[in-house]
Amino acid sequence: MARKVRNRVSGYTILVVDDQEEALTSTRRLLEREGHTVLTAGSGKEALARLQETPVTLILLDYFMPCMNGDELVRQIRTVDQYVQIVLLTGYSGEKPARAMLAELDIQGYHDKADGPDKLLLWVDVALKAHRTVKALRERERVKTELIANVSHEFRTPLNVIGGYASLLLDSEFGALPDAAQQPLRALSNATHDLTELVVEFLDYAKLEARAVDVVRQWISTRDLVSELGRMAGLLLEGRPIEFRTEVDEAPAAVLTDSVKLRTILRNLITNAAKFTAVGAITLRVRQTSAAVCFAVQDTGPGISADDTARVFEPFRQLESSRGRGGFGLGLALSRKLALVLGGSLGLVSEVGVGSTFELTLPLSVVSEPARPSSGTGAAAAAAAPWEAGTSLNP
C-alpha cells in the first residue's frame, strides 16, 4: 500500500547525515512526505557547516562514515548546539549495543536501518515530541531569566544612589561625624556594595542564559594577570593565616582570549577559595600543555564530597556547608558558563578534609605566545608584536 502523502508543513527542519547518496535520497523523500524541511550532508564536516548556517530541530546521523564517525560527530555537534535532537542510524552489526550507545553519547534515539521506514518515523516522532518539551522548558527559563534581568536592572539605580550618599556622608570634607553615626553608615555602605555586586552577577548570568554576550579576544600578559590576581588575593586574605602562592613556570607568556571573562572566572574562583579556607594556602597555577592552557585554583579548605561536586555549579545552589558564608550561589555557575563561552571548560577535583581544586581549561586554538617586539617597523613589527598592532595586553 502506498504511503499517504501529507499536505501540511510540519515546521520542523531535519538534517540527514549519511555518506551513501542513495540513503540520503530515500530518507529525504520519506521525511518530506511527512511535511518536514530536510537538509542533507554527506560528511561530518558538511554537517557541521550546515548547523552553523541553519537552525535544525533533529539530526538523523549515520554512525559509520569516513573521516569522522558518529561518535566523534555527536561530540562536535554538542559544541555547536546543546539541545538539538539526535537519532543515530546504523546499517551494520558489530558496534556497541543500542543501550550502551544511548548511555555513552548525548543522543535521543538509535535506529537500525534494517527495521525499515516506519520504525524510523517512530523515532522521528519521539524526537520531535522531546524537542517540543525541551523548547517549552527553555522558554520558561528564558522568561524567568528576563524577569531576573529586569528586576536586577531596576535595583541597580537606587542602590547606586544609596551607596553614593553614604560615601558622601562618610567623606571627611563634610566634617567628622560622631561614632554613633559613622558605624551605621559604614554598615549601610558595605551592605549596598554587596547588594550591587549581587545585582551585577544576576545581570551577567541573565545575559549568558539569553546568549546575549560577545567574545572580544585580546592579548593578556600572563605575568600581569597573575600579579593582579595576587593583589586581589592579598586584600581578601589580609590578617588571616592563609598564604597565596603562584606557580607559573610552565605558563605561556600571553593568552589570547576575552580579558573580562577570563578575569571574572579567576576572581570568582579565588574569592570562593578565600571564603572556604580557614588556614593553609591558596595556590594559583598556570600551565600550558600540548593541547590547552590550564588555570587551576587549589585551596586547603574543607573539601567537597563526591555527591556534591556537580551541584556546586548549579545556579542559586548552596551546599549545607556554605550556609552563612554570604553569596547566593551564582559565582561558580556564572564561571562555568563563561568558560563554555570561551570554548573551554571548568572542572572540580575535591577531597573532604584535604581541599578543592577548580581548573579552567582553554583550548590551544585560543591560546598563543606572541613573539617579543622586534626592532623592525611597519607590518613586520606589527606581526612580531601583535599587542602593538592595536591590541592591548590589558583591558
In a 13 Å sphere around the CA of 334, the CA atoms on its Cβ side amount to 27
Regarding whether 260 and 189 lie in a shared domain, the answer is no
Domain boundary among 209, 232, 251: 209
Regarding whether 351 and 226 lie in a shared domain, the answer is yes
Domain boundary among 52, 81, 115: 115
Q: What is the pLDDT of residues 365-393, one digit of tens each?
A: 544 444 433 333 333 333 333 333 333 33
Phi, psi (rounded to 5 degrees) for 359? -125, 120
Could you tell me if 122 and 116 are in contact, meaning their C-beta atoms sit under 8 angstroms apart? no
Residue 277, amino acid: T
Q: Which of 203, 99, 221 is nearest to 156 (CA)?
A: 203
Does the residue 4 lie in any domain? Answer: no
Query: What range defines the domain where residue 155 resides?
Result: 140-209
Does the residue 53 lie in any domain? Answer: yes
Does the residue 46 lie in any domain? Answer: yes
Q: What is the pLDDT of residues 189-201, one digit of tens each?
A: 878 877 777 777 7
SS3 98: helix
Domain boundary among 172, 191, 209: 209
Does the residue 309 lie in any domain? Answer: yes
Q: Which of 106, 79, 55 is nearest to 343 (CA)?
A: 79
Q: What is the pLDDT of residues 341-368, one digit of tens each?
A: 888 899 999 999 999 999 999 987 544 4
Q: What is the pLDDT of residues 4-34, one digit of tens each?
A: 545 578 899 999 999 899 999 999 999 999 9
Does the residue 135 lie in any domain? Answer: no
Query: What is the enclosing helix (H) or strand (E) of 240?
Result: none
Regarding whether 378 and 346 lie in a shared domain, the answer is yes
Write the CA distances from 46 to 5, 42, 87, integer angstroms: 29, 7, 18
Give mean pLDDT, residues 105-110: 86
- Sequence-distant (6+) residues with CB within 8 A of 325 are 275, 276
Q: What is the pLDDT of residues 293-318, one digit of tens each?
A: 999 999 999 998 887 887 888 876 66
Regarding whether 187 and 322 lie in a shared domain, the answer is no
Torsion of CA 189, 193, 198, 203, to 10 degrees: 120
Q: Could you give the number of structural domains in the chain?
A: 3
Higher pLDDT, 393 or 321: 321
Could you tell me if 278 and 297 are in contact, meaning their C-beta atoms sit under 8 angstroms apart? no
